[in-house]
């Protein structure tokens, strides 16, 4: 297990480097002059040039990137170009909210998706199966932000049951968490159904049924445990998708999370903040996938992680 963890941690190094390079180059291709945006309209050329020198924008791209990576290796993500505050502090203030949103949405995804997938798999081609799959198709088709707007209109504007925006109490969490978790639940439901149908056709399941074991015992103890292996993979990937999806949901519900911070920083061309935000989000995703790999061993002890 220790060797496996070391290997996976080493594999994250090229991933992180690749992420920083891609984000750095994309930000350079965004139209507009960063120094001009920071200086504001009507700023003199001298002011703009001073800002370029202050933030190293007058240096070649490879020099800017190397300087940034030197700081990252030392744990310094730089200073925000907007307010001259440490990027690390800004991100750490917003990150817990985004992780909380993604985590609760993942729970919704797993609960709804697995239950719906089991219902479809144990009664294939039935009315229940068709109904669940149609709902799953609709769930995949609906963008999370659009569903969020619909939920906001129904439960906040019309019924006045839940607050419109914010992240101050559990009532504020319900709409954004459900909006973000529903699309993921549809994907998990389809995967659970497919995996369960494959497992229930196995000989050991037929043997368990032939022995007269309780139907629910066969489904939940024998079939589901083995069917969850590919589902766990999908859930791990979905967490990454949900982590990225928080950008839109946080904007719709005015949640001051990491996603909203990145959007605001992109608008202001605050390169250090964008790079730092994406870098931290990537690290969280890598850690979650490492945890998912460890879960494989829990559900199937025959899997070798060495």
The answer to pTM > 0.85 is no
- In tens, the pLDDT along 60-98 reads 888 888 888 888 888 888 888 878 888 889 999 998 999
Cβ–Cβ under 8 Å, residues 284 and 99? yes
CATH code of residue 150: 1.10.3720.10
58 falls within a domain: yes
Same domain, 93 and 63: no
Last residue of a domain, one of 39, 73, 107: 73
Under the banding of pLDDT at 50, 70 and 90, the label for residue 155 is very high
Report CA torsion sign: 126, 235, 172, 263. Answer: negative
Same domain, 132 and 162: yes
Same domain, 233 and 136: yes
Same domain, 10 and 65: yes
What value does the mean pLDDT take over residues 240-250? 80
Same domain, 118 and 168: yes
Longest dimension (CA), the chain: 86
80 falls within a domain: no
Under the banding of pLDDT at 50, 70 and 90, the label for residue 247 is confident
254 falls within a domain: yes
Same domain, 108 and 216: yes
Q: How many CB atoms lie within 10 A of CB 292?
A: 16
β-bridge partners, 79: 86
84 falls within a domain: no
- In tens, the pLDDT along 261-296 reads 888 888 877 888 888 888 888 888 888 877 777 776
What value does the mean pLDDT take over residues 215-238? 75
Under the banding of pLDDT at 50, 70 and 90, the label for residue 305 is low
Judging by beta carbons within 10 Å of its beta carbon (0-12, 13-18, 19+), is residue 268 exposed, middle or buried? middle
- Supply φ then ψ for residue 74, to 5 degrees: -90, 5
**pLDDT value at residue 217:** 73
Same domain, 63 and 107: no
The range of the structural domain enclosing residue 186 comes to: 89-299
Same domain, 267 and 169: yes
Same domain, 268 and 163: yes
β-bridge partners, 86: 79
Domains of the chain: total: 2
Distance, in Å, from the CA atom of 254 to the CA atom of 176, rounded to the nearest integer, reads 10
231 falls within a domain: yes
Same domain, 137 and 232: yes
% pLDDT > 70, the chain? 94
Same domain, 136 and 30: no
């Amino acid at each position: 297990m220790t060797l496996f963890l070391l290997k996976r941690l080493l594999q994250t190094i090229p991933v992180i480097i690749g992420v920083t390079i891609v984000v750095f180059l994309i930000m350079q291709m965004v139209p507009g002059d960063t120094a001009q945006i920071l200086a504001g309209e009507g700023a003199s050329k001298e002011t703009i040039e001073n800002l370029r020198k202050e933030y190293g924008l007058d240096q070649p791209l490879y020099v800017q990137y190397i300087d940034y990576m030197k700081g990252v290796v030392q744990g310094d993500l730089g200073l925000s170009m907007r307010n001259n505050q440490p990027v690390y502090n800004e991100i750490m203030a917003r990150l817990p909210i985004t992780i909380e949103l993604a985590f609760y949405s993942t729970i919704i995804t797993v609960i709804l998706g697995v239950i719906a997938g089991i219902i479809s798999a144990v009664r294939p081609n039935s009315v229940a199966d068709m109904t669940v799959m149609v709902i799953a198709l609709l769930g995949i088709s609906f963008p999370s932000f659009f569903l969020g707007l619909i939920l906001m209109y129904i439960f906040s504007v019309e019924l006045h049951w839940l607050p419109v925006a914010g992240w101050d109490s559990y009532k504020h969490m319900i709409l954004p968490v459900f909006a973000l978790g529903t699309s993921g639940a549809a994907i998990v439901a389809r995967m659970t159904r497919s995996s369960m149908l494959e497992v229930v056709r196995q000989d050991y399941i037929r043997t368990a049924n032939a022995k007269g074991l309780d139907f629910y015992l066969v489904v939940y103890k024998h079939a589901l445990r083995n069917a969850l292996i590919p589902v766990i993979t999908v859930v791990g990937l979905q967490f990454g998708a949900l982590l990225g999806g928080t950008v839109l949901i946080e904007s719709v519900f005015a949640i001051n999370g990491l996603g909203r911070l990145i959007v605001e920083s992109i608008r202001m061309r605050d390169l250090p903040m964008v790079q730092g935000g994406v870098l931290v989000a990537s690290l969280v995703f890598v850690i979650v996938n490492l945890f998912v790999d460890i879960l494989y061993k829990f559900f199937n002890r025959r899997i070798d992680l060495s």
